[in-house]
Amino acid sequence: MSGCGCGCSSSGGGPFSKGKELVEFVYNAHGGTVRDQPISRGPIETECQGCGAVFVLETYVGKCGECGGVHAVAPMNPTAENVQFAGVGYTLP
């Protein structure tokens, strides 16, 4: 079983994936309509897991303002602890 709790399904990854897999899951969730939406509980201030800079993740998929590192958080549990980093050098498709 995978999915974000709304009944849709998506191949590969899931809301409990880590790292790049989670980033790609959120990026593709709901046909790509979730990634640009503001986080329901408000922006999350987090530390870039690539360069260590503090930045604010305002949408479910976002980039560090310093190094462009791609981060994402699962829509069902958007907290700072659950922010995942896609890895150094990763760029969105």
Minimum distance from residue 33 beta carbon to Zn ion (Å): 26
**Of 13, 15, 62, 69, which one interacts with Zn ion (CB under 5 A)?**
69
Minimum distance from residue 22 beta carbon to Zn ion (Å): 17
Rounded-to-integer distance, Cα 23 and Cα 90, Å: 10
Q: Is the dihedral of CA 76, 80, 81, 83 positive or negative?
A: positive
Q: Which of residues 13-52 bind Zn ion (CB under 5 A)?
A: 48, 50-51
Question: Binding to Zn ion by residue 64, rule CB under 5 A?
Answer: yes
Measured in whole angstroms, the distance separating CA 50 from the mean position of its chain's CA atoms is: 14
**Of 66, 77, 87, 89, which one interacts with Zn ion (CB under 5 A)?**
66
Copy the structure tokens of residue 66. Answer: 């310093």
Copy the structure tokens of residue 20. Answer: 């790049």
Minimum distance from residue 60 beta carbon to Zn ion (Å): 18
Rounded-to-integer distance, Cα 1 and Cα 12, Å: 10
The SS3 of residue 59 is strand
39 or 51: whose CB is closer to Zn ion? 51
Residues near Zn ion (CB under 5 A): 48, 50-51, 53, 64, 66-67, 69
